[in-house]
Chain A
Amino acid sequence: MHAGNVERIRALLDHVPDPEIPVISIVELGIVRDVTVADHGGGAVVLTTTYTGCPATFAIESAVRTALDQAGFKDVAITRRLDPPWSTDWISDAGREKLREYGIAPPPHSTSLREHATPACPQCGSTQTEELSRFGSTPCKALWRCLACAEPFDHFKCH
């Protein structure tokens, strides 16, 4: 039964969107570190933050709280875990594809040549791209431009 509840909570969380990139869920973003349910009720959803100063943290916790409460998990707590620090490697493959479809170039895997590779344009697929600004509209993104189709785009930074 407890295992079933863990699965139910995970399914709930899979429908909680990231507030700044609503096309992917917080599970796909890789910030749900653990879900536990205790024998006699209680338990915890363990979250980590992307960046320490990420202003979306409170919005995410509030959305998780609402989702848990509505499904009857009022006694499941939300806690934070700092270590190991979140990495863009934790973004799932499905999440990466959704980012691309949304117009955000997904981060390279850290095993790739991150210093040298340029992201492919999410609009036309060209790798002829250049960085315009290392810090973009949110802390996790940089602003790039495609030299082939001339469209600017966000690039999720490798972190």
Chain B
Amino acid sequence: MTPTTNAGNAGKIDPRFRGELCRYAMSLGDDSLVLGQRLGEWCGHAPTLEIDLFLANIALDLVGQATLLLDYAGACEGNGRDADRIAFHRDVLDFTNCLLVEQPNGDFGRTIARQFLFSNFQLLLFQALSNSTDATLAAIARKAAKEVAYHARVASEWMVRLGDGTEESATRVRDGLDWSWRFVDELFEAPDAALIESGIAVDPAGFRAEFDARVDAVLRDAGLARPPGRRPILGGRNGHHSEHLGPLLAQMQFLPRTYPDARW
């Protein structure tokens, strides 16, 4: 994806954390990549042209973030893999995205509920990560946070519009929220402890209260109840995915795997 190198104005990579940093950047990149690919499925199918545009634009932002994060994961790894190689030539068990982003789009209500939860999480994460002691991660986070602020805003507005809309729209967005809710706790799993201690990574537990407050405020406006706590479903960070990720990757990876030397 990058014809010229030097994607970031990177500081030095601390050799003690190289391996864990690679894993961390890759999991963040996988989140963005998989949700970007999912949202791309809406292209040409959304209820209205405006919705089609904003879903595709969010997808574009996410794929852009994934490019930066996966390129950096490759640089930390040091085996010459770039973002394309990492995105298109890994098998499903090697992906470490959270389970929420790989869930099927469902109807528009479910897509919006998923986006609402993920974008609000990602916004707080990137805002915190903007102060990372790793210069490259901080730079990517500062750039991405500006984009994700838009995603969170537009998804929150649609939560209210659907929840406070017709009986049909309220039912659908409530069902979407119920579907997505069991995947929220996984977002707040702590990354590697040494990375957090060194100030490179962020422990999302630090902004859980802020996340809950934001979600509750929007749900109140939307006239939606917070779904009851459920036993969380975990495993994505360790490569234990739902049955939905494989088909997504099959579609995304088909061309570069079938024609490995294909060029635009």
Contact = CB atoms under 8 A, between A and B. Distances in A.
> Which secondary structure dominates chain A's binding surface?
loop
Contacts, number: 82
Interface in B131-163: 135, 138-140, 142-144, 146-147, 150, 153-154
A82 B65 contact: no
Interface residues of A, number: 27
Interface residues of B, number: 36
Interface in A126-159: 132-137, 139, 143, 157, 159
B154 A83 contact: no
Interface stretch (B55-63, B170-178, B253-261): B55-63
B144 A52 contact: yes
Contact of B50 (A77, A143, A159): A143
A135 B60 CA distance: 12
Contact of B142 (A84, A133, A134): A84
B9 A53 contact: no
Given A52-B65, A134-B154, A135-B53, A77 B4 contact: yes
A81 B7 CA distance: 7
B247 interface: no
B232 interface: no
Interface stretch (A6-14, A24-32, A54-62, A116-124): A54-62
Q: Which of B7, B53, B56, B140 has the most CB of A within 10 A?
A: B53
24 contacts: A51-B61, A51-B64, A52-B68, A53-B63, A53-B65, A55-B60, A61-B3, A80-B2, A80-B7, A82-B7, A82-B140, A83-B142, A84-B142, A85-B139, A85-B142, A132-B50, A133-B54, A134-B150, A134-B154, A135-B53, A136-B53, A139-B57, A143-B50, A157-B150
Interface of A: 49, 51-55, 58, 61, 77-85, 132-137, 139, 143, 157, 159
